[in-house]
Amino acid sequence: MSNKVIDVKDLKKNFSDNSNIIKAVNEVSFSVNESDIMIVFGRSGSGKSTLLHLLAGLEIITSGQIKFENYTFQDLTLDELASIRRTNIGFVYQFHHLIPEFKAIDNAAFPLLLNGHSKEVAYEKSRQILTKFGLEKRLFHKPNQLSGGERQRVAIARALIHDPKFVLLDEPTGDLDRETAQEVREMLKDFMINSKSSLIIATHDRSFEEISDFQKTMDSGSFI
């Protein structure tokens, strides 16, 4: 039986726009077990990215609860949230956010170096995961020397390298052509075969249904 990794209850995130209250996430509840792949579908502006930021501890919740293992997010300090994010969470942005001065192998190794691993260990694991993702000939290329699909694969490798408990992916194929997007989906599917990580993917790409365990649809901040 799978173990529950994330448990969300009545989650809300409001923003103020002058005199108006924008309900970016409105009474959302769900749970994700170990090795689950959960897909959150929704159009732009539906609240998907805000939800991922809350789950990563990058935004402070307005009300409700996020529980990760024995931690309740609203009871933690910003430093404690940052520590959990660094050691247990992977995050993939739509536009990769790689460090432009770093080569691919440097970008992928960075989380391990932040967590105190030796350079030898970090770079060997970086080489291994990038090779697994078909980038063995791109290890020493900087982001501006890589294609869009290659940059996104480096970003995913960086998010997975420290064996996080869960990985959040925000429109991971949103800037890719159809063929490259399929390669990214297959890569994630292959990774999950022997992984205990859970994936939460926010997207409008319905092709992700083929790799998911379950799906949710967001509209105006709520699941429908």
CA separation (Å) from 21 to 51, 63, 75, 221? Answer: 17, 14, 25, 12
Residue 222: what pLDDT?
94
* Spatial distance between the Cα atoms of 152 and 99, rounded to a whole number of angstroms: 13
pLDDT digit string (tens) for the chain, length 224 residues: 458 899 999 999 998 877 788 899 999 999 999 999 999 999 888 999 999 999 999 999 999 999 998 899 999 999 999 999 989 999 998 777 899 999 999 999 999 999 999 999 999 999 999 998 889 999 999 999 999 889 988 999 999 999 899 999 999 888 778 888 888 888 888 888 878 889 999 998 898 998 899 999 999 899 99
169 sits in which H/E element: strand 166-170
DSSP, residue by residue, 122-135: HHHHHHHHHHHTT-
* Spatial distance between the Cα atoms of 62 and 60, rounded to a whole number of angstroms: 7
CA separation (Å) from 124 to 83, 101, 119? Answer: 24, 20, 8
Residue 2: what pLDDT?
55
Residue 106: what pLDDT?
97
Residue 93: what pLDDT?
83
Residue 7: what pLDDT?
95
Residue 66: what pLDDT?
96
- The whole model's pTM is what? 0.89
Q: Please name the CATH architecture into which domain 4-223 falls.
A: 3-Layer(aba) Sandwich (3.40)
Q: Where are the domains of the chain?
A: 4-223
Residue 89: what pLDDT?
92
Q: Which phi and psi (to 5°) does residue 27 adopt?
A: 55, 50
The amino acid at residue 23 is K
Residue 1: what pLDDT?
45
Residue 219: what pLDDT?
93
Coil, helix or strand for 54? helix
* Spatial distance between the Cα atoms of 138 and 145, rounded to a whole number of angstroms: 9
